[in-house]
């Protein structure tokens, strides 16, 4: 069986892996995201150092990116808030260094592909994958196909209505108080002066977090009618958020979107990723498998 390479190109860290799926991850390395040249060079060195050559490589990258095959800037990270990565042709850098075909998409679309193939969305054809961490990003498969249009979904930057009494300015450098600006990990830290992982489960922070996330998820449900919503990322390791978000979604739908899963089994409708922290790197491997017939 051929081997495939995956790169989860995150804004905070890169994860590179070699294998064929969740039961066959033969090598994985994690390292901080630095400047483009040194970070990509470290990824390339990982693949060159493995005794077996990979057939192809899938890259799931933080964005915005250009995923449109045939575009002059396909494979680029484009107008990202990580300014030193702006207009970086990451796919070309990898394929030129390794001579292997590359498949390229957002990190969240890649994770969605992995969850569809091996994880929490195996029994669905249309679902949303949202990651809440250093940033907020959303990917979707619609009838089993990754959702692209003029670009790719940017679910983390949807506008959200402020919670009553909330005067926090938001942290997004583009929009201030969009979903990411109000609810990503850096927003929690900026609002409360400490990392969210240090806050008690009954801290007021989680009321705000559940407000903004349930508000956005309700919008995604009404727009895409997904069969499931998967919530991953570091912030969602706070498992007490799940029941708060589920209740917030129910309250906002107010009986309008009468899907049996939401009415009677919402615990299995809004769920964590089955692949856990490996969803992103397995997404890269899943993309790599699409790159070669």
State the average pLDDT over residues 183-198.
96
For residue 262, pLDDT over 90 is answered with no
**CA distance linking residue 169 with residue 161, whole number of Å:** 13
What is the predicted pLDDT for the residue at 80?
Answer: 85
For residue 150, pLDDT over 80 is answered with no
What is the predicted pLDDT for the residue at 270?
Answer: 96
Q: What CATH superfamily is the domain 120-272?
A: ATPase, nucleotide binding domain (3.30.420.40)
What is the predicted pLDDT for the residue at 265?
Answer: 87
Domain residue spans in the chain?
4-107, 120-272
- State percent of the chain over pLDDT 70: 99
For the chain, give the mean pLDDT. Answer: 94
190 by Cβ neighbours in 10 Å (0-12 / 13-18 / 19+) ranks as middle
Angle between helices 107-118 and 279-291 (to 10 degrees): 90
Q: Note the CATH number of domain 4-107.
A: 3.30.420.40
* Helix residue spans in the chain (DSSP H): 36-48, 90-98, 107-118, 179-183, 185-192, 205-224, 241-253, 260-264, 279-291
Residue written as tokens 């915005």?
64
State the average pLDDT over residues 146-175.
91
**CA distance linking residue 184 with residue 26, whole number of Å:** 32
What is the predicted pLDDT for the residue at 1?
Answer: 57
Greater pLDDT, 228 or 82: 228
Q: Per DSSP, what are the bridge partners of residue 77?
A: 65, 88
3-state secondary structure of 75: coil
- State percent of the chain over pLDDT 90: 86
What is the predicted pLDDT for the residue at 292?
Answer: 62
DSSP state of 163: P
What is the predicted pLDDT for the residue at 2?
Answer: 86
What is the predicted pLDDT for the residue at 293?
Answer: 52
Query: Over the stretch 216-261, which tens digit does the pLDDT of each residue have?
Result: 999 999 999 999 999 999 999 999 999 999 999 999 999 888 787 7
Structural contact between residues 37 and 48, judged by C-beta atoms closer than 8 angstroms: no
120-272 matches 4-107 in CATH topology? yes
Residue 149's pLDDT band, with cuts at 50, 70 and 90, is confident
Q: Label each residue of 198-221 as H, E or C.
A: HCCCCCCHHHHHHHHHHHHHHHHH
Structural contact between residues 268 and 261, judged by C-beta atoms closer than 8 angstroms: yes
State the average pLDDT over residues 123-137.
95
Q: What are the tokens at 80?
A: 């990202």
Residue 195's pLDDT band, with cuts at 50, 70 and 90, is very high
Residue 290's pLDDT band, with cuts at 50, 70 and 90, is confident
What is the predicted pLDDT for the residue at 63?
Answer: 85
Starting at the edge strand found earlier in the chain, the sheet holding 102-106 runs 24-32, 13-21, 4-9, 57-61, 102-106
53 by Cβ neighbours in 10 Å (0-12 / 13-18 / 19+) ranks as middle
State the average pLDDT over residues 84-98.
96
**CA distance linking residue 115 with residue 122, whole number of Å:** 7
């Amino acid at each position: 069986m051929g081997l495939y390479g995956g790169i989860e190109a995150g804004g905070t860290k890169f994860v590179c892996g070699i294998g064929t799926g969740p039961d066959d991850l033969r090598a994985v390395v994690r390292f901080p995201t630095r400047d483009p040249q040194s970070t990509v060079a470290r990824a390339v060195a990982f693949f060159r150092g493995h005794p077996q050559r990979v057939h192809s490589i899938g890259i799931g990258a933080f964005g915005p990116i250009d995923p449109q095959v045939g575009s002059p800037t396909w494979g680029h990270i484009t107008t990202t808030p990580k300014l030193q990565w702006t207009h970086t042709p990451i796919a070309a850098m990898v394929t030129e260094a390794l001579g292997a075909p590359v498949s390229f998409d957002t990190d969240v679309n890649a994770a969605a592909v992995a969850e569809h193939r091996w994880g929490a969305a195996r029994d669905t054809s249309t679902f949303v994958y949202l990651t809440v961490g250093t940033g907020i990003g959303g990917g979707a498969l619609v009838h089993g196909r990754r959702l692209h249009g003029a670009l790719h979904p940017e679910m983390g930057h949807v506008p959200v209505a402020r919670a009553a009494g909330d005067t926090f300015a938001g942290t997004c450098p583009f929009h201030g108080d969009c979903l990411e600006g109000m609810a990503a990990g850096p927003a929690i830290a900026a609002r409360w002066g400490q990392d969210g992982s240090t806050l008690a489960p009954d801290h007021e922070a989680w009321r705000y977090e559940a407000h903004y996330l349930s508000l956005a998820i309700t919008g995604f449900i009404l727009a895409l009618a997904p069969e499931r919503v998967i919530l991953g990322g570091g912030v969602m390791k706070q498992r007490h958020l799940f029941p708060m978000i589920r209740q917030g979604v129910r309250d906002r739908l107010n009986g309008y979107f009468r899907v049996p899963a939401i009415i009677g089994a919402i615990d299995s409708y809004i769920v964590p990723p089955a692949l856990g922290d490996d969803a992103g790197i397995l997404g890269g491997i899943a993309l790599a498998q699409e790159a070669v017939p």
